[in-house]
Amino acid sequence: MDHRNKTRVTEFILLGFQNEKEVEILLFVAFLFMYIISLIGNTMIIILVCVDYRLHSPMYFFVANLSFLEVTITSTVVPKMLANTFSLTKAISFVGCLTQSFFYFLLGSTEFFILAVMSFDRYVAICNPLRYTMIMNKRTCIFLLLGSYLGAFLAIFVSSILTASLPFCGPNIINHFFCDSAPVLKLACADISLTELADFISSAVLLLGSLLLTAVSYTYIVITILRIPSTQGRQKAFSTCVSHITVVTLYYGSSIFIYVRPKKGNVMDVNKFATVLNTIVTPMLNPFIYSLRNEKVKESLRDVFNKLVQREDGAQSLDRNPLSDVSPQ
């Protein structure tokens, strides 16, 4: 097919959820609320890890970086989705669409590597506690973090290049609330079989590969925990993994459902709500998952809150009696 005489697409239209106006407004309020809670909660985790020396450990280092990824991923998708709720055109530029898609998958892929790294951290802490500080030193943590970003970039590089090189010269309506790969590829006026294959392979290798590493780590962890003689010791060891297991279940479950299962029939509406779970709901829940079940984080949060209250009380006291600290002449 000759594409030279066809007009190239300069922008796409994001359909979103295509509901009645009242429903769209309700969704807008719900998503805005969850987005704000996600930003506040994850930023709080990052600040606590930075300012409290008790949280200066490999586990919290990776928790803080996971929170950073949550903030950036939601900010890649949600603001545009919210803006389009009241937009007449619901348009996004061609370059903006490809950029959004690239960073969404780059940051999302990095999360899966980080989750695998966090499971390795728990494996070392429980199975090799005497060597933990030697293995999980600062240099190793930075290496694993940078390796996660590099691995994510390499995982999506080929499919991103193939998508960007496709000609888009026909319909420009994307049946989604962001530039997901599957609905974008459907709009290309060329053979997309190679790009779809690259997408599927990269998704399968990334998701199933990192899930395998996580499963292997937790297999050894469970074996080690079962060997602990006391019930209290087993419960204490397992409690350090519960938060991570919860997050892993949420992420892998929804992502495998969206990107790895065979595509049969019209599944876009189902994928939209699964993506909401992955992009909005889970990032909102993460701070609660890691703080409500973690005594160190709760203690750190209480200390910060108490300091703020004491500072506010001190400021109010000075306001009531501004000359209390002035010595008489």
Cα separation, 180 vs 188, whole angstroms: 13
Give the DSSP letter of residue 279: I
Cα separation, 81 vs 16, whole angstroms: 7
Note the helical H segments in 128-192.
132-135, 138-164, 181-185
**284: CB partners within 8 A, 6+ apart:** 34, 35, 37, 38, 41
Q: Which residues are registered as beta bridge partners of 174? A: 14
Three-class SS of residue 133?
Answer: helix
For the record, the structure tokens of 54 come out as 């008790």
Burial class (CB in 10 A: 0-12, 13-18, 19+), 229: exposed
CA angle 294, 299, 305 (to 5 degrees): 125
Phi-psi region of 266 (alpha: psi -120 to 50; beta: other; left: phi over 0): beta
- Which has the closest alpha carbon to 155: 117, 107, 212? 107
pTM, entire model: 0.85
Three-class SS of residue 13?
Answer: strand
Q: pLDDT (tens digit, 0 to 9) for every residue of the chain, 329 residues total?
A: 444 455 678 889 998 887 777 888 898 999 999 999 999 999 999 998 998 888 889 999 999 999 999 999 999 999 999 998 888 788 999 999 999 999 999 999 999 999 999 999 999 999 998 999 999 999 999 999 999 999 999 989 999 999 999 888 878 898 888 998 888 998 998 888 999 898 888 888 888 888 899 999 999 998 988 888 888 878 877 777 888 888 888 888 877 777 666 555 556 667 788 888 888 988 998 888 877 667 777 787 788 778 777 776 666 665 666 555 544 44
Domains located in the chain, CATH noted: 15-299 (1.20.1070.10)
For the record, the structure tokens of 49 come out as 């890890």
DSSP string, 63-113: HHHHHHHHHHHHHHHHHHHHHHHT-SS-EEEHHHHHHHHHHHHHHHHHHHH
- Which residue carries 């998708």 as its tokens? 77
Three-class SS of residue 260?
Answer: coil
> Taking a C-beta distance cutoff of 8 angstroms, is the pair 170, 187 a contact?
yes
